[in-house]
Structure 1
């Protein structure tokens, strides 16, 4: 019997946190995988290398029509290598539209949607729907918010696999770490709230920004200046360089809570929860780390299992309650079947029509 060959495509420079679970799932099906991506994404994810048959490097210019020649050459390569299924790790944009239309009928296309706004009037996405009929979104809660277009199959998928380097960051006895994934920025984070949280909590509570911080950015400068003036600098950790997977994992191994910093009436409020999930959610489900979430989002089913809730004006009280619930929430995440690797492997293979039940 001929071995199944699947191409996993990521044209952009992000969403790599979704790929490892897919590779592992395909390995359980004895599928051969060709990864189509850029050199930067490939190099920063060495954990992928032993799980793929081949890698096809592609560097789109950003202009979809200009890159039609690149797409035609890619299609020829996929045909020559016996690919029967293509999965778009980020199934949006002009390049996905063009490649999906160039694929022959012998190659079936599938896609991951990261923001459900793509189902709310995107003209390019409507064109993509003509070629991609099966999608996943990244939570059951998002699934509930989607009006699924006619003729489209949609299910949820949780990428819960993360590389484990078996090394923990050094953490002083008595310290507690609240980790914010990403760097110091206001675009998706309520930094003013963080300053208030630091002021309201004791010296044993430390806040870790686990991502690269651009210290020349006005947001970062204002935040770092504010905590310096108030003598709180030693309560905050941040990184000025790219945080590689080993360091990322080491800090998460020591994290007490993940804090997505999604608050009502902030720039992140409309986008997250309603239209896409925070990357912190996926990390929480994969690492079994309890989340700290504003009480406005108690209505989300996944969060009722995985989070402790707080009011911004009473963060200290909320955090005290969260610590009393920490072990219970940790166990709840671990016991939720849909956040286990075997469940998601099978779920993903169903999505690709490789298993029936």
Structure 2
């Protein structure tokens, strides 16, 4: 039985872990987690979980990890986030050990441009990316021959197997999941479009900002919503949303709105070298997406999304919210994405690690 250790030093990206556990379980592996103390990941699997102590120094953190690797006879370390200084500074301690290392690259351009990534790659020679189009970008732009890349889709979530909530026919819920980050999501354009067209908007439509809006940026968004007299069509939260409520809200929503526009700071990254976690949520829960027309270039999204421009956003939204058959057609579009089948993804993931 092979021993795999999934490492995540930050409290982010925990939503990627459960898929990897399921894939490794399928092949009879023993799975260990070494994760951040504040990670929301829950022990709902066979994985053996070790959480870091927030009082540990960087050196203590590395020492505990290395002891664990030796004690448990770990064969392969998988860095859930194979980027950043905290991973870079660990690499010298792993260089001359026989243990194998792989990881997830969240920003593909780092494999091409980052000196920090070059140091990490002295040990981590296999990288996963989270969509096929990111893999294509790497094949076209990475000119070296010492690294290997593969894509997989971490679209399985712990709460995905919970009882499906009853959906209300009274409202058409447009869900905007994730942290309230104006640099990534174009709230201002959305709010202005709605303010200008409020009288023409289907009254069933509600926008659910599914993230904690109690911070500074969230406060600005709520203030703008209030100034535009749009409070009745927005659902916001002033507190942290736990995973169960978060996933259940996505399951009961009507459509997912990533709200990524060309004017955004990270637009080009989302279009080529990385993805927003919102896309994985939509794919995982087989939810239709309302996407800016720029994303039409990606085959993954064509059959499951309604594409819009700023000019026709209201007409497209009114159309899909009034046509149950068209919404169902988008939902059925997932049937054509056979590559998302669990067996396909598990095989790709495990085989890449095993080669």
If the length of structure 2 is used for normalisation, what is the TM-score? Answer: 0.89
Could you tell me how far apart the structure 1 residues matched to 2:228 and 2:350 are? 53
Pick from 107, 113, 134: which aligns with 1:115?
A: 107
User: Equivalent residue for 2:155?
Assistant: 160
User: Equivalent residue for 1:245?
Assistant: 243
User: Equivalent residue for 1:256?
Assistant: 254
Could you tell me how far apart the structure 1 residues matched to 2:202 and 2:181 are? 24
If the length of structure 1 is used for normalisation, what is the TM-score? Answer: 0.89
Alignment of 1:38-187 (within 5 A): 38-41=36-39, 44-46=40-42, 48-59=43-54, 67-103=58-94, 104-146=96-138, 147-148=141-142, 149-162=144-157, 163-164=159-160, 166-167=162-163, 172-187=168-183
Could you tell me how far apart the structure 2 residues matched to 1:296 and 1:321 are? 20
Displacement of 1:321 in angstroms is 4.8
Contact 2:91 2:119 survives alignment (8 Å): no
Alignment of 1:269-280 (within 5 A): 269-280=267-278
Could you tell me how far apart the structure 2 residues matched to 1:166 and 1:50 are? 14
User: Equivalent residue for 1:331?
Assistant: 332
User: Equivalent residue for 1:6?
Assistant: 4
Could you tell me how far apart the structure 2 residues matched to 1:106 and 1:185 are? 41
Change in Cα spacing, 1:346 to 1:58, as seen in structure 2 (3 Å) is: farther
Contact 1:68 1:98 survives alignment (8 Å): no
Q: Which residues of structure 1 form unaligned runs of 5+? A: none
Contact 1:6 1:32 survives alignment (8 Å): yes
Q: Which residues of structure 2 form unaligned runs of 5+? A: none
Displacement of 1:95 in angstroms is 2.2
Could you tell me how far apart the structure 2 residues matched to 1:321 and 1:152 are? 47
Displacement of 1:68 in angstroms is 3.4
